[in-house]
Amino acid sequence: MRLSEHLYRTISTIAGPLLFVESVQEARVGEMVTVHTPDGRDMEAEVLEIDGQTTLIEVYGTTQGLDIERTTVSFTDAAKKVPLSPDIVGRIFNGSFEPKDGAPMFIPEKRMPITGAPINPAARARPADFIETGFTTIDGLNTLVRGQKLPIFSCAGLPSKEVVASILKNSRLADPAKKFIVVFAALGLTFHEYSFYMKTLEAMKTGYVAFVNMADEPVMERLLAPRFALTVAEYLAFEKGMDILVIITDMTNYCDALREISTAREELPGRRGYPGYMYSDLASLYERAGRIYGREGSVTMLPVVTMPEDDITHPIPDLTGYITEGQIVLSRELHQKGIFPPIDVLPSLSRLMQKGIGKGRTRADHRNVANHLYKYYAKGRDLRRLEAIVGRDGMTKADILMLDFADAFETGLVGQGMARRTVQESLDVGLELMKKFSLEVV
């Protein structure tokens, strides 16, 4: 603990967002630092590494205009903490946690470290409560449950924001008395997308908290905003007993920011230039979803990932898929056919579905209906390749039936436009479809 604040004028190097400060006494890793610029601004920074008396600090925000002679640095003796209060609901902040909605900053009830702490696996409650999103492809075939993290894998140009907006508007918890509070983290958003999302959030009757980093705002904030959002989510969920839905868009911008900062730190690059620790870093965000045994609330997460080059094996969707409990994959092909939501159910998966469906939760025949729909649709899709080679005429009657089924599945079951279906309706649509094609459901 320092008794007096010392102003260091010993910067030796400035490289991108990094400053080297010499002769520093007792700096701590993760400690917050204030950088005073020659033109009188104050900027936040964090201690990254310490080697003897040389301390490496990373500045949040742009380092343009800093110099070695006149810039000074003071150490705060505290780790980065997030101010918290129930009053936060309904507010919009930027990526540095400054109000963006014109209202004054709230008075914090408490502060918690931005990085959070891992939930003890022994303290986790198994996610089991069904969430109805209104989409048949999710509710019926890839069911979402409370406390799950289920990313949306999209491609550039696909309507991921409309899908997210629709989920926001239509999601219902099993207990109708309960409502979701949405915590929204926007990373590198264009103004066009921003205005769309804000309209959606404001139309919701329940509360929301938003952290918005625009496309032209500092890259470092893209690493901070999701952590602010998750710390707020954990606080509201596990201390205030609320059910929180965290939407982060777009994780691809997050990972690119991580790569940019990592390169500035001169770290060894891994696959496609992304740092080797990206898996652990992503896990430190995604794993904050969940439920805690003996506590009320929950954190459910729907991150959006835009797959570069439509490639699901790209490191960003790949590492995400290894951490999250499944994925919802949007398809360009379906979108071009004019189907909304363009969710391709074959590569989509919800790992926790089993726990959320069945008798007493959704419907006794849920698993069975879903399995059969999958089976027949997969078969139909397989046969499309054959059709491309031999033509429709060269195929058996049974095969042609499967082809027609796959088409009807896409237009009638996947495609539902803006209409909301309850899970009962979703399952009935599936059953009727199979009945129409006289496909057996054992």
Partner 1 sequence: MSNSSGAIQSISGPTVSSDLKGLKLYERVYVGHAMLTGEVVRLERDKVVIQVYEDTRGLAVGEPVKGVGMPLTVRLGPGLLGGMFDGLQRPLERLREEMGPFITGGRELYALDYMKRWEFSPALKENDEVAGGTVLGTVNEGAFKHYIMSGPEETGTIDKVRGGSISLDEPLGEYKDHREIPGCHEWPVRIARPYRKKFAPAAPIVTGQRSIDFLFPLARGGTAIFPGGFGTGKTILEQSIAKFADVDIVVYVGCGERGNEMADMIAEFEELRDPWTKRPLRERTVLVVNTSNMPVAAREASIYTAVTMAEYYRDMGYHVLFLADSLSRWAEALREISASLEEMPGEEGYPTYLASRLSGFLERAGIVETLSGKIGSLSMILSVSPPGGDFTEPVTQACLRTMGSFLMLDTSLAHRRHYPAINWFQSYSLYGGEVAEYYRTKISPAWDELLKRSKQILQQEEALREVAEIVGAEGLQDADRLLMRTAERIRTDFLQQNSYSEDAFSPPEKTFSIMNSIIESHDLAAEKLKQGVSLEEAMKYGEK
280 CA to centre of own chain: 15
Identify the residue among 198, 395, 400, 408 touching partner 1 (CB under 8 A). 395
- Crossing angle of helices 397-408/423-436, nearest 10°? 160
**Of 121-129, 166-174, 192-200, 414-422: span binding partner 1 (CB under 8 A):** 121-129
Minimum separation from the CB atom of position 347 to partner 1 (A): 6
Contact flag: residue 125 with partner 1 (CB under 8 A): yes
Identify the residue among 347, 359, 384, 419 touching partner 1 (CB under 8 A). 347
Contact flag: residue 276 with partner 1 (CB under 8 A): yes
**Of 176-184, 214-222, 242-250, 342-350: span binding partner 1 (CB under 8 A):** 342-350
| Contact (Cβ atoms closer than 8 angstroms) between residue 413 and residue 379 | no
CA-CA-CA-CA torsion sign (62, 67, 68, 73) = negative
Residue 379 or 420: the one with the smaller Cβ distance to partner 1 is 379
Supply angle C-alpha 307, 115, 314, rounded to 5: 15
Contact flag: residue 196 with partner 1 (CB under 8 A): no
Residue 228 or 238: the one with the smaller Cβ distance to partner 1 is 238
Residue 217 or 256: the one with the smaller Cβ distance to partner 1 is 256
Measured CA to CA in angstroms, residue 133 lies from 170, 206, 300 at distances of 6, 15, 13
CA-CA-CA-CA torsion sign (119, 124, 126, 127) = negative
| Contact (Cβ atoms closer than 8 angstroms) between residue 10 and residue 22 | yes
Residue 247 or 316: the one with the smaller Cβ distance to partner 1 is 316
- Judged by CB under 8 A, the chain residues 412 through 441 that form the site for partner 1 are none
Identify the residue among 390, 407, 418, 436 touching partner 1 (CB under 8 A). 390
Identify the residue among 140, 188, 207, 326 touching partner 1 (CB under 8 A). 326
Contact flag: residue 349 with partner 1 (CB under 8 A): yes
Contact flag: residue 241 with partner 1 (CB under 8 A): no
Contact flag: residue 179 with partner 1 (CB under 8 A): no
Identify the residue among 4, 39, 40, 51 touching partner 1 (CB under 8 A). 51
Residue 15 or 346: the one with the smaller Cβ distance to partner 1 is 346
Residue 189: beta bridge partners? 214
Residue 53 or 195: the one with the smaller Cβ distance to partner 1 is 53
Q: What is the DSSP letter of 170?
A: H
Q: What is the DSSP letter of 116?
A: -
In the structure encoding, which two tokens stand for residue 355, read together? 């726990």
Contact flag: residue 331 with partner 1 (CB under 8 A): no
Name the amino acid, one letter, at 424.
Q
Contact flag: residue 365 with partner 1 (CB under 8 A): no
**Of 7-15, 130-138, 198-206, 277-285: span binding partner 1 (CB under 8 A):** 277-285
Which residues are CB-neighbours of 146 under 8 A, at least 6 positions away? 127, 128, 129, 130, 131, 173, 243, 291, 298, 300
Which residues are CB-neighbours of 48 under 8 A, at least 6 positions away? 18, 29, 56, 57, 58, 265
Residue 259 or 314: the one with the smaller Cβ distance to partner 1 is 314
Round to whole Å and give the CA distance between 324 and 287. 8
Parallel, antiparallel or unpaired: strands 326-330 and 152-154: parallel
Residue 166 or 324: the one with the smaller Cβ distance to partner 1 is 324
Contact flag: residue 321 with partner 1 (CB under 8 A): yes
Round to whole Å and give the CA distance between 40 and 297. 44
Contact flag: residue 76 with partner 1 (CB under 8 A): no
Identify the residue among 14, 198, 204, 283 touching partner 1 (CB under 8 A). 283
Contact flag: residue 375 with partner 1 (CB under 8 A): yes
**Of 63-71, 83-91, 165-173, 310-318: span binding partner 1 (CB under 8 A):** 310-318
